[in-house]
Amino acid sequence: MSKRSLFGSVVGIAMLLWLAGCGSAQTAASPQSPHADATGYEAAYAPSSAEAQPSYEPAGEAEALPAAPSSMSSRSSSVDGASMIQRPSPQERPGLGTAWGETRHSPTTSTRFVRDTAAPFAVASLWYNDRQGANAMARSTDYRSYQQGAVPVLSGAITISLRDDAGRRLDGFYAGGKDYVVGEDGMRYVIVIQNNTRFRYECVASVDGLDVIDGRTAAYTKRGYLLQPHGVLEIDGFRRSADAVAAFRFSSVRSSYASKSGKGDRNVGVIGIAFFNEEGAQPTWSDEEIQRRHDADPFPGRYAEPPQ
């Protein structure tokens, strides 16, 4: 099977843009669709300084999202038209989504990356909700609380977490075979990916089923960010241009970017990261190597050996 590029071409070549390590913020601007900015790009994105820790201070007052249209109750008339019956409006979904937040300064540059295969070697998912929703899920399935929710990938070769404005990891838990993170309405968050290996990877990220770079339906063929060896990648919003993002902020489902952009709220509440190896690099943490690690014996000698 031939390799595919980020745009589905035969050669899996991605030009990755680097996020500036300063992470400074600028005054909020009126939200706009990222599609107009994204169409002109031929390169994918990556952080310019994986080691630098950006500021977690807010960029300014968050722009108010456009007001959701008021629910218009459907009406129907009787056969003779004499009476009108009001039908109830659909009930709003509970829990959190992710809104299109204030504009934050996030410059990028490009670099070359060739995938070794069209398929990712690992895919991680984090489901998020508010405290009430988390408690509801905890009652319906097995529950283990984490003090700080960091999700390991490939036995800890890579870790993923969500952090708030102050850089603190959001609490998380494990339930029903899934990793969850607990947030609050209005809170800004950043996706933080830490690389504990000597290899670099391409990371294609999605929020609520939408690609974080072009705002459209997420897919493995999309462009991604570059994760440097032993580096830290911070994804802090939906990309508006080569220099700015719209911050990730928890919101109601109805106020989420997915819902307001017309994509629908079916996939609201989940964050996904797909990881790709670089062509020519040693395969990362194969199943065989992981099993060898699990089978390692701390006390292999059971009995004393006779002298030579």
Q: Report the half-sphere exposure of 159 (CA within 13 A, side-chain side).
A: 14
Q: Pairing relation of β-strands 270-276 and 122-129?
A: antiparallel
Q: Is the pLDDT of residue 270 over 80?
A: yes
CA-to-CA distance for 186 and 144, rounded, in angstroms? 26
Average pLDDT of span 17-24: 41
State residue 220's pLDDT score: 96
State residue 269's pLDDT score: 94
User: 62-76, 124-138, 289-303: lowest mean pLDDT where?
Assistant: 62-76
Q: 183 Cβ partners below 8 Å, 6+ apart?
A: 96, 128, 129, 130, 162, 170, 189, 250
> How much is the mean pLDDT over the chain?
74
Residue 103 tokens, joined: 């504009």
Q: What is the pLDDT of residues 135-165, one digit of tens each?
A: 787 676 666 655 566 889 988 899 999 999 9
Average pLDDT of span 77-91: 48
Question: What is the band of 127 on the pLDDT scale with cuts at 50, 70, 90?
Answer: very high
Q: What is the pLDDT of residues 95-105, one digit of tens each?
A: 899 999 999 99
What residue segments make up the domains of the chain, in order of their start? 13-56+92-294
Average pLDDT of span 104-121: 92
